[in-house]
Structure 1
Amino acid sequence: MDETLIRRVVGIAGVGAGVLLLAQTPLYFMYSGAPPDWNVLTRILLSLFGCAFLIAFLVGFWNILRHADPTLDWVATTALCAGLVYVTGVLVSQSLEAGTVIVSEVPVDPTVDGPLAPGQFLLYGATGRTMTALFLVASGFAVSRTRLLHSWVGATAYLLAAANLAFVPSVFFGSDAADFYSAVGWGATAFAASFLMFWVLAVGIAILRLAGVEGNATMPAPEPEHGRAPEHTPVAGRTRASAAVTPR
């Protein structure tokens, strides 16, 4: 497949993942108590499609980095694996959420209510933050070494990785979802989680712009109209064509 086409697909996947996964975040904060079933199922559907786009972005980004510098294959593969583990955690957590809502006869908040809720705490919190940090560090290193994208891509990856790691110790601060800094608090599960989505969205746009520049650079020059003689530039009262054939 053409490299420019691959980058366009990866860019579109990054934008799609960022938009869909960010769009489902506000749905978690619409209700102070147990949300209605439609709310939970809608945000899960948005997340499912967002994760599908994210998987496409991860694999394509891995491919781009490997082709840019084959010696960084292990770094690109580390980023890919960390990203896929993160996506797996999100899908498992939301499957537990959906199952809790579907079988419950009364409205419940599946993030904190029911016997399955505690199993999601680390997947949304410390585990998710650790895998996100690993993905961002590996991606930032690879982008900085290959200089494939602007320097801000690598720099922000390192900064956001540090911010995610800062929420890993939240496991020691209880399980109150209303707290900013707790195992299932909104700081660790929503605020810090959004950093990755913003980064993927921005990188997707950057890759699309790069693919656009490359596409314009490889466009063939326009051919002269059929039957029209080429123009000659005058040289000292003569045309270049006549100057080339006139004997000295």
Structure 2
Amino acid sequence: MDMTKLQPRRIMGMSGVLIGVGITLVLPLYFLYSGPPPAWDVFTRELINLFVLVLFFIFFACFSHLIREADQASGWLASIVFGAGLLYVAIGLIATANETGVVYGSPGHLLDPTIDGPLADANILMHGSIKRLLTTVALLAGACAIKRTGILPSWAAMSAYTVALCNLLFVPALFFGHDVTRFYSAVGWGNSALVGSFFGYWTFATGFAALRPKSDAPIS
């Protein structure tokens, strides 16, 4: 395989794997404390989130590039994947800035940035329904592109459809309050933590698949 074609695939693969690692590291930090977390906890998880979001951007850019490279007729799907992915990253960056701002605005660090203060209220849909909908759009387009181009194994498309459906089911959760201890609410643990992590673990699995040599690659 031409190295110029192999490089974006490798970068996508490494980005996907690192996203999964980052999500695995950051999730426990949200559940370490029953009350307001100390500043170090918030700053640590937001720093990890920043790197994860940058990796998501790289993943989406390389993924959409591979789609166009494999099939020009699927370029519209690549545009949807990259557009939804770019919005996903932008929303994530805004939410990260808001959560960090709550800590800066509370000198005694007596607020939990996920639930306390006006910035937390502004973040509810960002962590919930908005991200769930953007994830659904990106994965549905990505799954269709994988089926059409064969750039990843067929299981990557089927799992993308499954994760997209799970995310779509949580979009209406905005009608069910904002109790973080509930499974199905606008910012409940089932919404923002469990289902929200599926996207990252999908990129983790597909990242490994992208790093593996393609079975149909020509043998020199």
Distance between the aligned counterparts of 2:180 and 2:152, measured in 1?
Answer: 38
RMSD in angstroms over aligned alpha carbons? Answer: 1.6
Distance between the aligned counterparts of 2:47 and 2:37, measured in 1?
Answer: 15
What aligned pairs does 1:228-247 form with structure 2 within 5 A after superposition? none
Distance between the aligned counterparts of 2:213 and 2:78, measured in 1?
Answer: 19
Deviations 1:133-174 (A, max 9, x none): 000100000001112221100001011100001111110111
Match in the other structure for 2:182: 179
Deviations 1:43-73 (A, max 9, x none): 0000101111111111011100111111000
From the CA coordinates, give the structure whose radius of gyration is larger.
1
What aligned pairs does 1:137-216 form with structure 2 within 5 A after superposition? 137-210=140-213, 214=217
Q: Does 2:59 align with 1:65? A: no
Q: Does 2:97 align with 1:95? A: yes
Distance between the aligned counterparts of 1:200 and 1:84, measured in 2?
Answer: 15
Q: Which runs of 4+ in 1 moved over 2 A?
A: 210-214
In the superposition, the TM-score normalised over structure 2's length comes to: 0.94
After TM superposition, give the deviation of residue 77 of structure 1 in Å: 0.8
What aligned pairs does 1:1-12 form with structure 2 within 5 A after superposition? 2-12=4-14
Match in the other structure for 1:79: 81
Where relative contact order (Cα < 8 A, 6+ residues apart) is larger, the structure is 2
Structure 1 letter corresponding to 2:92? V
Kept after mapping to 2: 8 A contact 1:100/1:110:
yes
Match in the other structure for 1:231: none
As a proportion of its length, which structure holds more helix?
Answer: 2
Deviations 1:190-228 (A, max 9, x none): 1111110000011111000036985x945xxxxxxxxxx
Deviations 1:7-59 (A, max 9, x none): 11221111112211332111101111111110011000001011111111110
SS of 2:173's equivalent? Answer: helix
Structure 1 letter corresponding to 2:54? A
Match in the other structure for 1:245: none
Match in the other structure for 2:29: 27
Structure 2, gaps ≥5 residues long:
none
Structure 2 letter corresponding to 1:132? T
Residues 212 and 4 of structure 1, relative CA distance in 2, 3 Å threshold: farther
Residues 212 and 5 of structure 1, relative CA distance in 2, 3 Å threshold: farther
Structure 2 letter corresponding to 1:149? L
Distance between the aligned counterparts of 2:34 and 2:199, measured in 1?
Answer: 26
Structure 2 letter corresponding to 1:31? Y
Distance between the aligned counterparts of 1:39 and 1:217, measured in 2?
Answer: 50
In the superposition, the TM-score normalised over structure 1's length comes to: 0.84
Structure 2 letter corresponding to 1:150? P
Q: Does 2:127 align with 1:124? A: yes
Residues 217 and 46 of structure 1, relative CA distance in 2, 3 Å threshold: farther
Distance between the aligned counterparts of 1:213 and 1:205, measured in 2?
Answer: 17
Kept after mapping to 2: 8 A contact 1:167/1:181:
yes
Distance between the aligned counterparts of 1:27 and 1:197, measured in 2?
Answer: 16
SS of 1:24's equivalent? Answer: helix
After TM superposition, give the deviation of residue 132 of structure 1 in Å: 0.3
Structure 1 letter corresponding to 2:155? W
Distance between the aligned counterparts of 2:175 and 2:121, measured in 1?
Answer: 14
